[in-house]
Structure 1
Amino acid sequence: MIFLTILAVIIIFSVLVLIHEYGHFAAARRAGIKVLEFGIGFPPRLYGKKIGETEYTINAIPFGGFVKLFGEDATDPKILANKRSFAAQSTWVRTKVVVAGVVMNLLLAVVLLTVGFMFGIEPLLVTQEDIFTHIESGVVQTAPGVYVAKVDEQVSGVDAGDRIVAINGEPVNDIAQIAPLRDKTAQSDIDVTLESQENFQRRTVHLPILEDGSFGLELKPLTPFPRLIVQAVEEGSAAQQAGLRSGDIILTIHDEEIFFPEDLHAALADAGSGVQMQVLRGDEPTGVKYRFDQQARVVIADVFAGSVAEEIGLQRGDIITTINTQDIHYPQEVQQMIEKSNGTALRLQIQRQGQEELLEKTITLEPQSRLGIALDAIDSYKNADFSFFRTSVVTSLLEVGKVQYSPGEAIRQALSESVRLTGLTIKAFGRTLGSLVSQFTVPADVGGPVQIAYYTHTFIQEGFFALLRFTALLSLSLAVINILPIPALDGGRFLFILIEVVFRRRVNARLEAIVHTIGFMLLLGLIALVTYSDIVKLF
């Protein structure tokens, strides 16, 4: 498997870089620029053959490739004046050659994602909002708590799918508590309390530290999810009588996930007078079912001139509380009562702003006649049985399904995801630079070659389409990073072209070459720092 991973890393890197360099190569050839060399891998050279005016080489370092253009970094006036040199081309032609590699990587990402979406791939879960979206669609299944994904053959007493309830007797409710299980940082053996997902029986297992510093457990992906925790429950309320307690964490209402206050408001508004709630109490999901007084009311939004309603004195803003002693909560109930009256008297109780006592109005409507009012619902949710505030709960991704689209929709989704992920990549690179400047550290969620190799190993085991999706993400990242205005990269060369356009004067070729050289050295330093960070994470 290690050999297969190394081979896959070499192939993926080579394909991505060669596709990128082929963009430069094709654009240069189309513009009449002389291409001196198209190299696969990096020197020292192992083999070379000249075809036409271009030498095609195979080199010893098997990562990527390069294109060498005539006059690319020239300072010689003769070369600068040669029509076949890169430096002699117009700003527009040089721009096309410079950005062609980035365009090829973007196109490759779109093509790979399109193929993946057509045949079915796991969704691109990059942000927490992505997870919420796919939870709603049913593609992603989650559960509060920490779950075991895989168990090393050296470990006994633990099964894949077990939920880790406690570590050394302490309930698990924070990601920091499981750091020893994930980061190989434990200093001593631990006891874990597990709950089987087959019979929900609990058991405690002693886990010794293995030779590699781990406990031999791989956990399912997890993240802190926003949730709402009950602060207080009104004494004597229906919620209290049903068993809702302070400290309960609200998970669902009528099987709808609750993450934010607006989720709770919407769920209670749609619940009518009955609420079926699932809460997390300690480490146990618990059901709570109760009824609360419905507070929804119907307001008169408008009274039509010359109508029956105007004749009996109804006013805009009046709240209809009852008709013939029946409580009214929704506008359609008023219409139903009128239709059923069939010409008999209707007694309306009205709550009017500024008056404490309810008003009574009696009307008699002939069949097919109208009362002459416009109605609306107010206070569709007004429940003071309990108060709450925001918290977070460690939540595992138990299962991630696949998304599949028709060819046309697959193309649209691939384009949309490429644009979105490009923006996220730019933000991530900005955070990396900010962290390097302010703290001289690499953010935890940023990786380099070693981490890419690690994920390649993971996705090889998950299958072809998982690796395809990962390759598409790498291609997008390569495109974004290359177009950033960093010396030695395509974006740095493009920046010098823009300066030339703005000031209508070319930057001194020797100065530009020096800047690109310094940029290249800084880039190598950044790669070394990120690689070191990757290695530290492994140990």
Structure 2
Amino acid sequence: MLITIITFIIILSILILAHEIGHFFVAKKMGMKIEEFGLGYPPRVYGVKKGGVVYSLNLIPFGGFVKILGEENEDKAKEDPRSFQNRPWSARALTISAGVLMNFALAVVLLSIGFNIGIPAILDEKVLAETSTRIKNKEVIISYVNKGSPAEKVGLQVRDTIIAIDGEKANNISEIIEKIKERQGAEISLEIKRRKTNLTKKITPRTDPPEGEGALGVGLAKIGIVSYPWYLALWKGAEATFFTFLAILTGFWQLIKGVFIPQAVPLEVAGPVGIAVLTGRAIDQGWIYVLQLTAILSINLGIINFFPIPALDGGRFFFLLLEKIRKGKKVNVNLETLAHQVGFYALIILLAFVTFRDIFKWKEKFWNAIERIVGG
């Protein structure tokens, strides 16, 4: 569990730090005065001033922050031409957007590394048709389990790897289907691998399954470790980032529909506890899954941060758009500051709600982990 917590902190720190580095470099390039660039969050442990910027190391080990002169509408910044508020509209817009863009860029880099080294993928016709694809460690996994099926009753799970049926090795989907058909109505011994553990399940394939379901009540998919030359890996990383971006946006749309339309089924929202649980599962699967999870979370962070909610980058960008629409007339400083403060506290309340809900949902895992850490 300690490894999971440390990995979770490292992932979160990388995501936030990448975001803040984006703000830092673009703000500097746009001629803004950076007052402080901090690793972690205050209280400050150590700081050194170089080139007019305080570089600090802080006690709370989550990501970092960038303090730009005038970003919080301070009085002292009103006359300084390097103040955020005194820079051109385009410079401010680019600086605010830079953190989100850096999160997307980080996802491209991580996924490109994965595609170059080797990443788990479903071996569909498109993958198999690519001449530059390198594939190893082919295996057949369970892709879904039907409710009320023999598979569900004996505890088969999504991502279980099928190794053998009655001691006979199962190398591809057609072989598995054929072996199961031959044994319908009779109990079989199904050898599977779950994470790093081999298990044997006794199961009886149905002779007359419901329409659209198989004898066991599972879906099967062939997967393998797929890798590409570096120049193709870059393209694949960018492509995967784009499609993940679209998938997450679709998910958020479904979530919003679920709030206003009773017929729509809202998706799950995970807070820090939920993400920590996902991190633990990724660690169990292997470091390449941790890499993928980090990339997905980076895209997710970028999207959420650009929602037009006060206190987020998207909220700040929204006020910039209002300024543009009003032909350069800025929104009242006090009104904008109040909006960001209200937005900040609303986000804290939402985070607390999601965290407590996650603790309730994962209460057994959560309290077991606490007991292991404190030695109870």
The TM-score, its normalising length taken from structure 1, stands at: 0.53
Are the aligned partners of 1:140 and 1:397 in contact in 2 as well (CA < 8 Å)? no
Please report how far the alpha carbon of residue 198 of structure 1 lies from its aligned counterpart in structure 2 after TM superposition.
4.8
Tell me whether 450-459 or 392-401 shows the greater mean CA deviation: 392-401
Gaps of 5+ in 1: 124-129, 148-165, 183-194, 202-251, 259-276, 287-387
Please report how far the alpha carbon of residue 94 of structure 1 lies from its aligned counterpart in structure 2 after TM superposition.
0.3
Q: Does 1:416 align with 2:249?
A: no
Are the aligned partners of 1:131 and 1:140 in contact in 2 as well (CA < 8 Å)? no
Tell me what 1:447 maps to.
270
Please report how far the alpha carbon of residue 82 of structure 1 lies from its aligned counterpart in structure 2 after TM superposition.
2.1
Once residues 39 and 292 of structure 2 are traced to their aligned partners in structure 1, the CA distance between those partners, rounded to angstroms, is 24
**CA 1:145–1:460 in 2, change beyond 3 Å: closer, same or farther?**
closer
Tell me what 2:50 maps to.
51
Are the aligned partners of 1:49 and 1:57 in contact in 2 as well (CA < 8 Å)? yes
Tell me what 2:166 maps to.
199
Once residues 450 and 119 of structure 1 are traced to their aligned partners in structure 2, the CA distance between those partners, rounded to angstroms, is 30
Are the aligned partners of 1:145 and 1:173 in contact in 2 as well (CA < 8 Å)? no
Q: How many correspondences in the alignment?
A: 323
**CA 1:429–1:525 in 2, change beyond 3 Å: closer, same or farther?**
farther
Tell me what 1:521 maps to.
345
**CA 1:95–1:280 in 2, change beyond 3 Å: closer, same or farther?**
farther
Please report how far the alpha carbon of residue 466 of structure 1 lies from its aligned counterpart in structure 2 after TM superposition.
2.1
Are the aligned partners of 1:435 and 1:443 in contact in 2 as well (CA < 8 Å)? yes
Please report how far the alpha carbon of residue 178 of structure 1 lies from its aligned counterpart in structure 2 after TM superposition.
7.7
Partner SS for 2:15: helix
Partner SS for 1:402: strand
Tell me what 2:205 maps to.
284
Once residues 211 and 117 of structure 2 are traced to their aligned partners in structure 1, the CA distance between those partners, rounded to angstroms, is 43
Q: Which structure features the higher share of helix residues?
A: 2
Residue identity opposite 1:537 in structure 2: K
Please report how far the alpha carbon of residue 459 of structure 1 lies from its aligned counterpart in structure 2 after TM superposition.
2.2
Residue identity opposite 1:16 in structure 2: L
Gaps of 5+ in 2: 130-134, 186-203, 364-376
Tell me what 2:294 maps to.
471
Residue identity opposite 2:12 in structure 1: F
Q: Does 1:427 align with 2:348?
A: no
Partner SS for 2:78: helix
Please report how far the alpha carbon of residue 58 of structure 1 lies from its aligned counterpart in structure 2 after TM superposition.
1.9
**CA 1:140–1:53 in 2, change beyond 3 Å: closer, same or farther?**
same
**CA 1:485–1:444 in 2, change beyond 3 Å: closer, same or farther?**
closer
**CA 1:140–1:39 in 2, change beyond 3 Å: closer, same or farther?**
same
Once residues 143 and 474 of structure 1 are traced to their aligned partners in structure 2, the CA distance between those partners, rounded to angstroms, is 25
Partner SS for 2:64: strand
Tell me what 1:113 maps to.
111
Tell me what 2:77 maps to.
79
Once residues 536 and 72 of structure 1 are traced to their aligned partners in structure 2, the CA distance between those partners, rounded to angstroms, is 38
Tell me whether 43-52 or 277-286 shows the greater mean CA deviation: 277-286
Backbone CA RMSD of aligned residues: 3.9
Tell me what 1:30 maps to.
29
**CA 1:47–1:141 in 2, change beyond 3 Å: closer, same or farther?**
same
Once residues 433 and 459 of structure 1 are traced to their aligned partners in structure 2, the CA distance between those partners, rounded to angstroms, is 28
Please report how far the alpha carbon of residue 400 of structure 1 lies from its aligned counterpart in structure 2 after TM superposition.
3.5
Once residues 402 and 64 of structure 1 are traced to their aligned partners in structure 2, the CA distance between those partners, rounded to angstroms, is 31
Once residues 231 and 345 of structure 2 are traced to their aligned partners in structure 1, the CA distance between those partners, rounded to angstroms, is 44
Residue identity opposite 1:451 in structure 2: G
**CA 1:448–1:509 in 2, change beyond 3 Å: closer, same or farther?**
same
Residue identity opposite 2:94 in structure 1: K
Tell me what 2:192 maps to.
none
Are the aligned partners of 2:123 and 2:222 in contact in 1 as well (CA < 8 Å)? no
Please report how far the alpha carbon of residue 66 of structure 1 lies from its aligned counterpart in structure 2 after TM superposition.
0.9
Q: Deviations over 1:391-434 (max 9, x none)?
A: 68842567642111122221111111111111111222233344
Are the aligned partners of 1:36 and 1:69 in contact in 2 as well (CA < 8 Å)? yes
Q: Does 1:122 align with 2:89?
A: no
Partner SS for 2:42: strand
Q: Deviations over 1:52-71 (max 9, x none)?
A: 32112222221111111100
Are the aligned partners of 1:114 and 1:410 in contact in 2 as well (CA < 8 Å)? yes
Are the aligned partners of 1:73 and 1:509 in contact in 2 as well (CA < 8 Å)? no
Q: Which structure features the higher share of strand residues?
A: 1
The TM-score, its normalising length taken from structure 2, stands at: 0.73
Tell me what 2:331 maps to.
507
Tell me what 2:149 maps to.
172
Residue identity opposite 2:80 in structure 1: N
Please report how far the alpha carbon of residue 517 of structure 1 lies from its aligned counterpart in structure 2 after TM superposition.
1.2
Once residues 534 and 178 of structure 1 are traced to their aligned partners in structure 2, the CA distance between those partners, rounded to angstroms, is 27
Partner SS for 1:44: strand
Q: Does 1:493 align with 2:316?
A: yes
**CA 1:509–1:256 in 2, change beyond 3 Å: closer, same or farther?**
farther
**CA 1:55–1:140 in 2, change beyond 3 Å: closer, same or farther?**
same
2:87 to 71, 86, 89: 89
Counterparts in 2 of 1:304-383, with a 5 A limit? none
Tell me what 1:335 maps to.
none
Tell me what 1:395 maps to.
218
Are the aligned partners of 2:24 and 2:66 in contact in 1 as well (CA < 8 Å)? yes
Are the aligned partners of 1:19 and 1:104 in contact in 2 as well (CA < 8 Å)? yes
Counterparts in 2 of 1:199-238, with a 5 A limit? 199=166
Partner SS for 1:447: coil
Please report how far the alpha carbon of residue 284 of structure 1 lies from its aligned counterpart in structure 2 after TM superposition.
2.4
Q: Deviations over 1:232-257 (max 9, x none)?
A: xxxxxxxxxxxxxxxxxxxx9xx499
Q: Does 1:536 align with 2:346?
A: no
Are the aligned partners of 1:279 and 1:285 in contact in 2 as well (CA < 8 Å)? no
Are the aligned partners of 1:110 and 1:472 in contact in 2 as well (CA < 8 Å)? yes
Residue identity opposite 2:149 in structure 1: V
**CA 1:257–1:11 in 2, change beyond 3 Å: closer, same or farther?**
same
Once residues 425 and 518 of structure 1 are traced to their aligned partners in structure 2, the CA distance between those partners, rounded to angstroms, is 26
Partner SS for 1:65: strand
Are the aligned partners of 1:142 and 1:395 in contact in 2 as well (CA < 8 Å)? no
Are the aligned partners of 1:122 and 1:400 in contact in 2 as well (CA < 8 Å)? yes
Once residues 445 and 133 of structure 1 are traced to their aligned partners in structure 2, the CA distance between those partners, rounded to angstroms, is 31
**CA 1:34–1:280 in 2, change beyond 3 Å: closer, same or farther?**
farther
Residue identity opposite 1:509 in structure 2: V
Q: Does 1:457 align with 2:280?
A: yes
Please report how far the alpha carbon of residue 34 of structure 1 lies from its aligned counterpart in structure 2 after TM superposition.
0.8
Counterparts in 2 of 1:2-21, with a 5 A limit? 2-21=1-20
